[in-house]
Amino acid sequence: MDLPFNGKIKREVIKMKTFVFLMAVSVFLTSSLLARTIRVPEDFAKIQDAVNEAANGDTVLVAPGVYSESIRLEGKNIVLASHYILNQESAYIKATLLQLSGNGTIIQCENITSRAVITGFTIGAPHFECNGIECQSASPLICNNIFSDIYKSGIRCLGNSEPVIRNNTFQFYSHGTVPQAIIAFEGYVQILNNTFQNNNSFFVKAIYINNSASALISGNRIDSFYRGISNYGYQTQIVNNLITHCYYAIETTRAQIQNNTIADNIYGISSIWSAPEITNCILWNNQTDFNGDFIISHSCMRDCLPWNAIDKGGNIFRDPQFVDAQNGDYHLKGYSPCIDAGIAQAEDSIPAYDLDGNLRIQDGTGEGQAVIDMGCYERPQAVNPAFVSGRITLNGGNANVEEAWVGIGTMVHPDADGNYEFAISAPDSQYTVIATLDSYLTQRIENVTIRAGSTTPNVDFTLDYYHPDTLLTVRPDTLKFLTWDEANQQSFWLKNISLTDVCLRWARTNEYGSFFYVNQDSFPRRIAPGDSISLTVYTRMLTKNHLSKTAETDIDSLTIYFNEDSLLIPILYDPDLFDAIDEKQPVARSFELLQNYPNPFNARTTIRFSLAQKSPIELAIYNISGQKIRTLFNGESNAGVHSVIWSGKNDRGQDVPSGLYVGLLKSGRTKQMIKMIMLK
């Protein structure tokens, strides 16, 4: 099978939403001419009886009603449809319910091809542990359905299945047993233009791709899931999606991630084992934009690139200017810096349409050149734009003025003499024009009036050379772990004493796997001139016996990486504190699950947690499918800091395979989790 990978996105794959209806109607009309239409309940009271009667090319047309039965499509390439197929009236979808009165699978598909169609139903069984549709070596078109309150999987793909899942709505409102909307174990699945809505439990996943499968995931809206997209597959493309309000928006191995808008999540994109390629994406207002290794090009994010990212250029660190993100509108305003700021590495790497079904590559600024936008929405063609012109002069230094940037939204370069002109398609008003250049102070000119169809001239800048010797100060200048009160953690302050922003990128001690660490969710972070931030160094609280086996050199400093520079903070500690840790624990001040160590681990790892007061708790291990595999502790625990060792076995004493696992600490309604990686 020739998979569309490394940018080879076929334009005909990502169609506008009406394509599905036209295709289904075409199949239905062809069936009407060449085969039979079998009606339920007119011809048969049960859907399965109608399916048994049907032959390849037939249509089973189901009238509105509630049908409680398991349906099996085995080797029959038929159209299974509600009356929605007749006139595209969505009321028929809600009025035609397929469900079960017990556990099982509602529709089972086996050994059918892409000529089979399932369309126009509400599929769900809110009180039973059911799968909606299961594909076993089956490749149907599944379109225009509502999957509601599925307790297991909405759609489950096994064997060499290649279904097209398009224009469906997945809704989860009741508590299920680790449900996921779509899960693919094998084959190649296309997940296109679906809507995923969740008001459910902690472990609900929208899309899960196993390591034996691959997928094209494009044009989907995913909101409020624990995991939006979990991809462990090979050669997966994640394109043109809007992912919001998830715990993990995207968790992925190697993949092509292009033109997605990922906003208002806890974690934006997390990489697993390899570095995904990220192009033309917007990541904004996530608690942590990136977690892991990445290759990033022409994308918009807060603060700065993560420490371990490969910078392919074209990235911006400014507000993308969503129309109304608070109310779910992530379209771009006319002065967004993301308009015409993307890149098309090859013609066939460009998504044909945006999330709304509008053609890509519009001249959204009015500059006269059409360039793809960042994010999942394309700004329409600019009509009668305004223009701003002026000149940039450099004061000091030896930089090339052509390398400067200037603009309100999308930035442009001046010419060799410093002259510039840019266009903007935004409402007539007053705006701030910005000019910037590395090693020069950024300058802003406020209250610049623009009017459609006219040019605002003489907006001139003088950029001053600025290269201070010191950007950051540290308080205190030495971290001390010399008493029991100091042994658990120490905080310090970094202050930006310069006139420019400082990008704080990373912090680590001088030895891998040391006693001391900083929570990496703190990075990257931008510190404005005059601002200060606080960071905390935590101890892993190992024993002295462990110390003598693992630490060959003293752990005597913490390195802070910022911009292209670094600074050292000395650490002083008393090893005897670690020798006595099992006899005297520091006082816990909060309910907290600390990161395991070592991580990644091989045979065993230590998990620490703290309780401020005596509490009933459960500490358990879950696999990447959200299934509980091991309960490490379930009962009442005293206040204090506690350690538990997990030896990599499940509750049956069996060794678990290499992979990603989740540790979950619960006490009543309070929960905390950590990610752990086992490598054998």
- What CATH number should be reported for the domain holding residue 674? 2.60.40.4070
Cα 186 from Cα 265, distance rounded (Å): 29
Domain count, the chain: 3
Q: How far apart are CA 644 and CA 632, in angstroms?
A: 7
Structural domain contains residue 561: yes
Whether residues 511 and 477 fall in one domain: yes
Write down the pLDDT at residue 139.
96
Residues 498 and 445 in one domain: no
Check if the beta carbon of residue 259 is closer than 8 Å to that of residue 351. yes
Q: Which of 669, 674, 304 is nearest to 506 (CA)?
A: 304
Query: Is residue 74 one of the residues assigned to a domain?
Result: no
**Residue 489 located in a structural domain:** yes
pLDDT at 595: 84
Residue 575 is predicted with a pLDDT of: 63
Tell me the CB-side half-sphere exposure of residue 250, using CA atoms within 13 A.
Answer: 35
pLDDT for res 26: 53
Whether 547 is in a domain gets the answer: yes
Asked whether residue 423 is assigned to any structural domain, the reply reads yes
HEC secondary structure over 158-218: ECCCCCEEECCEEEECCCCCCCEEEEEEEEEEEEECCEEEECCCCCCEEEEEEEEEEEEEE
CATH assignment of the domain containing 550: 2.60.40.10
Residue 247 within a domain: no
Answer with the one of 579, 610, 643 that is the final residue of a domain: 579
pLDDT at 127: 65
Q: What stretches in the chain show pLDDT beneath 70?
A: 1-34, 126-128, 173-178, 199-203, 345-349, 483-488, 510-515, 520-521, 540-556, 574-589, 680
Name 197's Cβ contacts closer than 8 Å, sequence gap at least 6: 169, 170, 171, 172, 223, 224
- Are residues 528 and 480 located together in one domain of the fold? yes
pLDDT number for residue 411 = 94
Tell me, yes or no, whether 558 and 604 share the same domain: no
Q: Which amino acid is at 44?
A: F
Q: Are both 476 and 575 inside the same structural domain?
A: yes
Q: Which structural domain, as residue segments, surrounds residue 397?
A: 386-464
Which residues have CB under 8 Å from 509's CB, separation 6+? 515, 516, 517, 555, 557, 558, 559, 571
Is 178 domain-assigned? no
* Pairwise CA distance, residues 408 & 434, whole Å: 6
Residue 275: per-residue pLDDT? 86
pLDDT at residue 512 in the model = 41
If asked whether residues 565 and 482 sit together in one domain, one would say yes
Claim to verify: residue 483 and residue 510 sit in the same structural domain? yes
